[in-house]
Amino acid sequence: MSTRILGLWTALVLLFLFAPLFLVMLFSFNAGDISIFPIKGFTLSWYARLAGNADFYDALINSLVVAGATVVIATILGVLAANGVHRYAPRWKTVLRSGAGLPMMVPHLILAIALLSSYNLLKIDLSLITVILGHSIVAFPYVFLITSARLVGFDPALEEAARDLGAGTWTIFREITLPLLAPAIFAGALISFTLSFDEVVVTFFTTGTDNTLPMVIWSMLRVGLTPEINAIATLTIVVSCLMAGVAEIVMRRARLSAVAQGEKL
């Protein structure tokens, strides 16, 4: 009986969480101009209108550029930091990991205000570059923690054997460490892309005249909720779900691989 009640409660929670997303996707195909029931019919006209919207294309390109740059910066910094903490600061591992995770715990509104104040203090003009820096701070902890978790099961004997055979530090990192960390790096990169592509608050405070896709949605919402907005939101949801799904698959395979390696040892 208790199992059924727990299952019903879980289903209700999932319905509460995901029902709004399904409604947004449903109304993006609504033939009517107003997002209300009953549905007047199904159409792709709102997606066709987006295809001819120059502002949408510009914002989409900006979002892809920002997300791509964020992936590069956050992934490089996260992997290097996790590797450095694991190797050279084992005593301070807990403290450093907690410090690296601060951007995850600080509300994005506070983080965005702090970034804006820093840019003003340094007299840096707001642009996509400032947005990329802000998004990199947001995404960095995820890459760091995912890579750190992968390093926990890393066998240092492999590197020691390579070093005994005459391999240098860079060769060991390129030929041994990097391939073993590849699943975690890939998963962290995908999560970074998703976080950057969807980020609104940090973007709102750090962007200049160039809009990203979430900012276009926000500006359109000030006029009213239209099926065109639902179409944009649906595309964003689909991209985010695909990225998150692929990241979960990669991390799951990495965990299974780590378990298999441990059993062999």
From CA 35, how far away is CA 219, in angstroms rounded?
18
pLDDT digits (tens, 9 = 90+) for 18-30: 888 888 888 888 8
Longest dimension (CA), the chain: 73
Share of the chain above pLDDT 90, in %: 22
DSSP letters for 16-80? HHHHHHHHHHHHTTBSSSS--SSP--B-SHHHHHHHT-HHHHHHHHHHHHHHHHHHHHHHHHHHH
Architecture of domain 52-264: Orthogonal Bundle (1.10)
Handedness of CA 7, 13, 19, 21 (dihedral sign): negative
Q: Where is pLDDT greater, at 260 or 173?
A: 173
Whether 263 shows a pLDDT value over 50: the answer reads no
Sorted by sequence, the CB contacts under 8 Å of residue 43 that are 6+ apart come out as 29, 30, 31
Average pLDDT value over all residues in the chain: 82
Rounded CA-CA distance 108/92 in Å is 27
Which whole number is the average pLDDT over 150-164?
73
pLDDT in tens, 42-97: 888 888 887 777 888 888 899 999 999 999 999 999 998 888 887 777 777 777 77
pTM of the complete model? 0.79
Query: Which structure tokens are listed for 29?
Result: 């195909």
Question: Domain residue spans in the chain?
Answer: 1-43, 52-264
CA distance 65 to 56: 14
Pairwise pLDDT comparison (16 vs 247), residue with the higher score:
16
Winning range, highest mean pLDDT, from 33-37, 128-132, 190-194: 128-132
Share of the chain above pLDDT 70, in %: 90
